[in-house]
Amino acid sequence: MHTYIKKDLLEKQRAYIWGMMCSKTASKVPAERNEKAAQKRAMIIEILADIDTLLTIANSPPTPASATQTKTPWDYQQEAAIQVQKENKENGGERVNLLSLDGGGIRGLVVIQMLSELEKKFGADLLSSFGWLGGTSTGAILALALSQGKSVAHCRSMYFRLKDELFCGERPYDGALLDSFLRSEFGEDTTLADITSKKVMVTTCLANVCPPQLKLLRNYQLQCSDVENSNLGFGSPKNVLVREAARCSSAAPTYFPPFDKKYVDGGLLANNPCPQLLTDVQLVNTSLRMAIGRADGTIVECSRAWSYCISAPFFRYSPNLSFAVELDETDDLKLINIMWGTKIGRADGTIVECSRAWSYCISAPFFRYSPNLSFAVELDETDDLKLINIMWGTKVYMNEESTSVGQLIDLLKSCAR
């Protein structure tokens, strides 16, 4: 998007939001806390609906970001993978699409906004195009909700209710409130085995061992014995409640207490669950081949996996020179600062590059969307104006990524036919 157009849009957006917030707040009558919260959520949804008209302010269509960039080796790989998928479709090949959702607390609203923008291009049945969902922390809550058939609009309302009900007072927040919230959303006795329309996987971290271990909670198993499944980390979906899976994955340290005194946020070890999701596809396919004894090695369930990865922005701590560690430095606090800033919670960088390379090795197109916002937003942000601004920023970002979004939508529609 041209700079002057973008600046004009942002200025008008801020003025518009501020005017809407002020006028609607002034007109509200005193009410109970819950009624006020409901009115506020309705107001925000109305603002987001009206704000779409601001995208028509520009006199000329935005210049897609990809149109002005020199092609990279990844671009050539992507084009080749897309061509293979088109040929595979023409030959009647089977395919499955993967959707991977990063962690990020209330920044899950960014993921929701991206899905909302894609729905406008594809249609309300966007999620029916994805057979596999994977999520970490806030992404796990979304993956589980979407796999239960909840709409993107419902998830947006759910997140505004979540921040109003849970982020009250000082950290750490009341774990009982989170338990109650997840129980109301996912049901008291619903297990992962009850989710049958999609394969879903969420991450958590077993923190009462040294070193901590990544654990994956799934609604599926391999085509092998219970003992073999257990040895490979595939527990029985019947033994895991959906609300507990969400609780395990979202127990962010210093924000909420561990679940069962041992499970914490999966983002500590896998904030981007795409590698784990790709691994599971390969394991499931291999177990299917072994189970039916296909000598030719044909993948039965899915011959090609389109890996589509969507991310909420994760603001990493960047240590300045005062925290630089010399080779002979033994200061534990400094080392922890470096580790936290460069490793824990990473969702981008080499994790994405490895997932991208893996996808291209199986001729699977790979799409990743992760807006770079102009300001940091905490995991427990409650300021409505900030949240609306990051959702607006996401709309602008997806508009700038129109070329990539168009490719994705075309592929998903061809898969649906």
Chain segment 39-71, per-residue pLDDT in tens: 666 666 666 655 555 554 443 445 555 455 688
> Taking Cα atoms as reference points, which of 305, 318, 340 lies closest to residue 411?
305
| Identity of residue 93 | G
Is position 57 within any domain? yes
Does residue 18 sit in the same domain as residue 157? no
Number of domains in the chain: 2
Percent of the chain predicted with pLDDT > 70: 69
Does residue 290 sit in the same domain as residue 376? yes
Stated pTM of the model: 0.81
Task: Find out whether 221 and 152 touch, Cβ atoms under 8 Å.
Answer: no
- The enclosing H or E element of 205 equals strand 199-206
pLDDT at residue number 371: 87
> What's the Rg (C-alpha) of the chain?
22
Is position 69 within any domain? no
Give the end of a domain, one of 18, 40, 63.
63
User: What number is the average pLDDT over the span 300-316?
Assistant: 44
Residues noted as catalytic: 137, 265
Does residue 206 sit in the same domain as residue 264? yes
Is position 129 within any domain? yes
Does residue 216 sit in the same domain as residue 300? yes
SS3 content of the chain, % helix, strand, coil (to 5): 55, 10, 35
Does residue 190 sit in the same domain as residue 57? no
Residues 6+ apart with CB under 8 A from 296: none
Does residue 6 sit in the same domain as residue 83? no
Q: Give the ranges where 258-379 is alpha helix by DSSP (H).
A: 267-270, 274-292, 332-342, 350-361
In tens, the pLDDT along 310-352 reads 554 443 333 333 334 443 444 455 545 544 554 555 666 788 8
pLDDT at residue number 324: 40
Is position 72 within any domain? no
Structural domain that includes position 183: 77-416
Does residue 122 sit in the same domain as residue 228? yes
pLDDT at residue number 311: 53
